Amino acid sequence: MTKNKQRITLFTIAGIWVLMGLLLFVATDAYAQTATTRNNSDIYSQISLFSEVLVKLKDAYVTDLSDEELIKAAIVGMLGSTDPHTNYFTPDEFTDFTTSTKGSFGGLGIQIDKKGDYITVVSPIEGTPAFRMGISAGDRILKVDGASVVGSSTDEAIRRMRGDVGTEVRITIGRPGVADPLEFTIIREVIQIKSIPYFFKLDNGVGYIRISQFNENTASELRTALGTLESQNIRGLIIDLRWNPGGLLDQAVDTVNEFIGAGKLVVETRGRRENRPLYTRYNTPQRNYPIIALVNEASASASEIFAGSLQDWDKGLVMGKTTFGKGSVQQLLRLGNGGGIKVTTSYYYIKSGRCIHKMSNDKLLKGQELTEAEIAEENERNHEHVYQTVNGRTVYGGGGINPDWVVDADLLTNLGVELRRNNVFFDFAVDYLVDHGHDIPLNFQVSNALYNEFLGYARSKNISFSPADADSAATFIRNSIRSELIGKVHGDLEAYKVSISGDVQLQAAIDFFNRFRTLQEMFDYAARNQAPPTVGE
């Protein structure tokens, strides 16, 4: 490109920026009426400065620079000066992001992960094309439509395998114990991303529902789960929101709706442009059984609205650890190039008046360091705010949802962390089933011989540990071996039931149901015996 053409391109870009600024002022009458001449001059002078830097950089830099990459970097830098939740998406990233919130896509139905150089099947999703074709956990995906994916990222492999519903994709698989690669020609179908992957009745008669995210299907999936469990005459319900990062705001409101009925305020978004209260809309069955919502430090956004709303309306006892504190609202805006921007526009305030957002999280997520004193000071300010539920219970506000009953989670030992990080349980189960067949009953228990065989396998994978290390992690190791083997034979649900059987927080919730008959008894006990949140908790 000649220098004249470069200048034409750059001035065109600069002109677009000026036009965008002009349109912004014209489109926003209220802002235009109050903006001073100095403010108008400021934005034009800053755009002019940007254009000047762009022109001089392109003209003087030692190598040719891409207009597209420079503008993208400028956009990313501009949004990066705000908060960590205001982001730019390329067209491909925008498509991936919107797909994750819609809850369905055209695909095969497999959960995958990268293990070494290989894209490996973690689990086929029951009822999907991959499941029906016999693709199994542990299979390595070697090629997609004849093109190698060895060494590719999981995102790249996913992009190749997804496509329009009804189209074909050819997958070449390497299977442990099978000498030659296997080829599968699969017709893509609509794959539903389940926001409620598990629900079942526990042995003590209490229902259990795991909500992993809030997508377009969450409210309808919740109604199905509740209908099934209530037909089994459950005497209470545990709703597990741990590690739930949130999702769609309207789905959080509609799920709360299932427990508090129509016409009730759930949350208000308050921002610079407008304040918007959100109310429940539907008449729902009376649910008078006790409910416990499990939360932890990774419960965020919509999951915090859900848990905090059950707390505010006295419909559920919140148990676990104080939630993450992601209480900002983002709006997704499509751009002309097919990409988009996600912009923070307001903050969440739930029924009691509590703001969920923890401001220090924004700094931490952007890589900024905070001292312990600064974090303690923010926690102290947050916990100074006392609020009331609809029935007059005291709750504490700011920086996440504080549980009614605090329960710490079990921490993995260093050996446990290493075994998980290196996928040793998964790999061992795959190899074991190749050698021993798939005859694993649901009541399968890990014998001492199998336990010792696993320890030898772990050492062969260069995992170093002492006998004392193994002893301290023995319960976790046995439970994990059993979960992996049962899951690969009987499916994810049975594996999940095994994996949570030693869950300390879940067992605490089960214990509450064994000790107390009503939710009010739970509230009273928690109020008498649980101290208010302390600074730094």
Model pTM?
A: 0.76
Closest CA to 75 of 50, 109, 111, 48: 50
Q: Residue 74: which H helix or E strand, with range?
A: helix 67-80
312 among known catalytic residues: yes
Query: Are residues 43 and 137 part of one domain?
Result: no
- The list of the chain residues with pLDDT below 70 reads 1-41, 99-105, 126-127, 531-537
Query: Are residues 216 and 292 part of one domain?
Result: yes
Query: Are residues 283 and 175 part of one domain?
Result: no
Phi (first) and psi of residue 328, to 5 degrees? -105, 150
Q: Is the dihedral of CA 306, 307, 313, 314 positive or negative?
A: positive
pLDDT recorded at residue 467: 94
Of 167, 192, 217, at which residue does a domain stop? 192
Closest CA to 238 of 273, 200, 268: 200
Query: Are residues 447 and 469 part of one domain?
Result: yes
Closest CA to 177 of 131, 123, 122, 138: 138
Domain count, the chain: 4
pLDDT recorded at residue 97: 78
**DSSP string of 276-303, one letter each residue:** EEEE---------S-EEEEE-TT--THH
511 among known catalytic residues: no
Of 169, 192, 215, at which residue does a domain stop? 192
Residue 91 lies inside a defined structural domain of this protein: no
Q: Which amino acid, residue 104?
A: S
Hey, what's the torsion of the CAs at 389, 390, 391, 394, to 10 degrees? 10
Residue 529 lies inside a defined structural domain of this protein: no
Domain with 188 in it: what CATH number?
2.30.42.10
- Distance, first Cα to last Cα, the chain: 59
Phi (first) and psi of residue 287, to 5 degrees? -120, 100
pLDDT recorded at residue 121: 87
pLDDT recorded at residue 103: 61
Residue 76 lies inside a defined structural domain of this protein: no
Distance in angstroms (rounded) separating the CA atoms of residues 100 and 216: 9
Give the structural domain span for 115: 104-192
321 among known catalytic residues: no
Query: Are residues 375 and 244 part of one domain?
Result: yes
The alpha-carbon radius of gyration of the chain (Å, integer) is 27
Distance in angstroms (rounded) separating the CA atoms of residues 403 and 285: 26
Q: Residue 87: which H helix or E strand, with range?
A: strand 87-89
Of 192, 215, 247, at which residue does a domain stop? 192
pLDDT recorded at residue 349: 94
Vertex 161, ends 218 and 100: CA angle to 5°?
25
3-state secondary structure string across 155-214: HHHHHHHCCCCCCEEEEEEECCCCCCCEEEEEECEEEECCCCCEEEECCCCCEEEECCCE
Q: Residue 319: which H helix or E strand, with range?
A: strand 317-320
Query: Are residues 260 and 186 part of one domain?
Result: no
> Annotated catalytic residue: which of 301, 352, 360, 480?
301
> Annotated catalytic residue: which of 254, 312, 404, 427?
312
Domain with 208 in it: what CATH number?
3.90.226.10
Residue 71 lies inside a defined structural domain of this protein: no
Query: Are residues 165 and 187 part of one domain?
Result: yes
Q: Which two tokens stand for residue 400?
A: 């996440």
Q: Is the dihedral of CA 66, 69, 75, 80 positive or negative?
A: negative
What does the mean pLDDT of the chain come to? 86
Query: Are residues 355 and 243 part of one domain?
Result: yes
Query: Are residues 384 and 265 part of one domain?
Result: yes
Residue 412 in 3-state DSSP?
coil
CA distances from 354 to 376, 379, 392, 501 (A): 19, 14, 15, 34
Distance in angstroms (rounded) separating the CA atoms of residues 160 and 440: 35
Residue 423 lies inside a defined structural domain of this protein: yes
- In this structure, the strands spanning 237-240 and 291-295 are parallel
Residue 441 in 3-state DSSP?
coil
* CA count, 13 A, side-chain hemisphere, 397: 20
Closest CA to 202 of 169, 171, 246, 232: 232
pLDDT recorded at residue 359: 79
Residue 155 lies inside a defined structural domain of this protein: yes
> Annotated catalytic residue: which of 58, 315, 321, 326?
326
Residue 362 lies inside a defined structural domain of this protein: yes
Residue 139 lies inside a defined structural domain of this protein: yes
Q: Which amino acid, residue 118?
A: Y
